[in-house]
Amino acid sequence: MDGVAEGEWLAGVFDRAAATYDEVAGGYHRHFGERLVERAGVQEGHRLLDVACGRGAALVPAARAVGTTGSVQGGDLSPAMAELAREALQAAGLMGTVEVQDAQDLGVDAGSFDRVLCAFGLFFLPRPAVAVSGFRRALRPRGLLAVSTWGEEDPRWAWEDELLADLDVERRAIVEPFDDDASLRSLLEGAGFTDVEVTAEQHDVVLADADEWWAWKWSYSLRGLLEQLPSERAEQIRRDAQPHLDRMRASGGLGLTLTALIATAVAP
């Protein structure tokens, strides 16, 4: 990985994860994407930008909400994700554009949008304050930003952290988690946003078995960590997880409660 820029590395991780991203464990990004659009109050006629749009979990419901008189533009650092988002819009019979885009350098005109969304993207950014200032610039006066991050983790799965605690890898995808009200609010207010509101929302998913659990681990940003391990070390993690998974299945199943923080903020 020597000489590979951080953004290029992260884009590669998501290019390789794209095929199964949000296709394992029940499509939870689609659930939270719809909630983000609802919380943003997206309406007919709005001009909307979805930053780090992934496969289109928020972009598709946003395109539906703006109707034929509005417009949506999605951007993602991963070319594979951007292509899948285009396909998702097409499959839904919706209009919109999707580009390969750096969240920290949007390349859009000031005041171009009524709404800017960023679903589960802030924590990957090396310079989140720069990115959020760019979001503000992209919005018209009194335009609204809506972002989501992950909140508290389900304590039933705390053993996963212990399993991965001693891994020494060169790169980790998450830079700063913004997993609490205070840090998220501070980021947005520091960029000049006002009327910041943060709420926590939960969604339950159920994994079928150990194979689905392992497929899930390779379907999102954790893939970037696992790919840096020797294959035998990765397989050891899988084997070490088995007793925990067996115990959970015996005592009620592989249920997982996901908590998302959704923040809205107004541009001055």
The string of pLDDT tens digits covering residues 8-44 is 999 999 999 999 999 998 899 999 999 999 999 999 9
Query: Mean pLDDT, the chain, as a whole number?
Result: 97
User: Structurally, how many domains does the chain consist of?
Assistant: 1
Does 236 have pLDDT greater than 70?
yes
Does 263 have pLDDT greater than 70?
yes
Please report the pLDDT score of residue 1 as a whole number. 44
In a domain, 248, yes or no: no
Summarize the confidence of residues 198-214 as an average pLDDT.
97
Summarize the confidence of residues 217-239 as an average pLDDT.
98
Summarize the confidence of residues 220-239 as an average pLDDT.
98
In a domain, 86, yes or no: yes
Does 163 have pLDDT greater than 60?
yes
In a domain, 236, yes or no: no
In a domain, 225, yes or no: no
In a domain, 24, yes or no: yes
Percent of the chain with pLDDT over 90: 97
Q: Which residues contact 155 (CB under 8 A, 6 or more apart)?
A: none
What are 169-197's pLDDT values in tens digits? 999 999 999 999 999 999 999 999 999 99
Exposed e or buried b for every residue in 229-264, given b needs 16+ CB within 10 A? eeeeebeebbeebeebbeebeeeeebebebebbbbb
In a domain, 141, yes or no: yes
Summarize the confidence of residues 151-156 as an average pLDDT.
97
The CATH number covering residue 187 comes to: 3.40.50.150
Domain extent, residue 195, equals 6-153+172-204+259-266
Does 2 have pLDDT greater than 50?
no
Summarize the confidence of residues 194-207 as an average pLDDT.
98
In a domain, 231, yes or no: no
In a domain, 249, yes or no: no
